[in-house]
């Protein structure tokens, strides 16, 4: 597995563990009231599991298995940028739920995530191609 995929997949596994833990806390808080602030973990739960776990795992595996040119994966820089941008965006979105004074954070977070996905698409586009027979 290439190094970038290792980073994508490891990050996604960490987000899976944290996201499930927050989900368990949210669930427990419904049965046995723990603290009024627990409900505010919902945006982090959603973000960690959808962007963190699902998206990072998909992109990490895609970077690994999409068709290559001999052993080369083309321009890898946008894919590295995607890892950075999506992670930054994810934490901005999570922070937005806890820092109500910083209204722009959610916008920045979503924009960084969108930019990250676009960077990955830019990298992957030429690698998405049919088999050449013969």
Pick one of 1, 17, 24, 114: the residue that binds ligand HEM (CB under 6 A): 24
Output the CA angle 104-41-55, nearest 5 degrees: 75
Q: Does 81 help bind ligand HEM (rule: CB under 6 A)?
A: no
* Tokens 């690698």 -> residue: 127
CA 102, chain centre distance (Å) = 22
Q: Does 93 help bind ligand HEM (rule: CB under 6 A)?
A: no
Residue nearer to ligand HEM on the CB measure, 2 or 23: 23
If one counts every other C-beta atom within 10 angstroms of the C-beta of residue 51, the result is 24
Residue nearer to ligand HEM on the CB measure, 8 or 53: 53
* Backbone torsions φ then ψ of 69, nearest 5 degrees: -100, 105
Task: Count Cα neighbours of 116 within 13 Å in the Cβ-side half-sphere.
Answer: 24
Give the x/- contact pattern for ligand HEM in 39-78, rule: CB under 6 A: ---x--xx--xx--x-------------------------
Give yes or no for a contact between 93 and 85, defined as CB atoms under 8 angstroms apart: no
Q: Does 6 help bind ligand HEM (rule: CB under 6 A)?
A: no
Interface segment toward ligand HEM; rule CB under 6 A; list 17-25, 67-75, 76-84, 103-111: 17-25
Interface contacts to ligand HEM, rule CB under 6 A: 20, 23-24, 26-27, 42, 45-46, 49-50, 53
């Amino acid at each position: 597995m290439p190094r970038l995929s290792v980073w994508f997949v490891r990050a996604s596994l960490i987000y899976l563990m944290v996201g499930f833990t927050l989900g368990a806390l949210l669930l427990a808080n419904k049965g046995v009231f723990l603290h009024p602030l627990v409900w505010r973990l919902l945006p982090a739960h959603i973000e960690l599991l959808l962007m963190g776990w699902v998206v990072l795992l998909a992109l990490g595996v895609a970077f690994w298995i999409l068709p290559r040119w001999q052993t080369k994966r083309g321009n890898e820089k946008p894919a590295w940028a995607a890892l950075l941008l999506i992670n930054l965006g994810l934490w901005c979105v999570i922070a937005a739920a806890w820092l109500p004074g910083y209204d722009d954070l959610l916008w920045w977070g979503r924009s960084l995530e969108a930019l990250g996905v676009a960077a990955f698409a830019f990298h992957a586009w030429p690698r998405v191609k049919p088999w050449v027979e013969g």
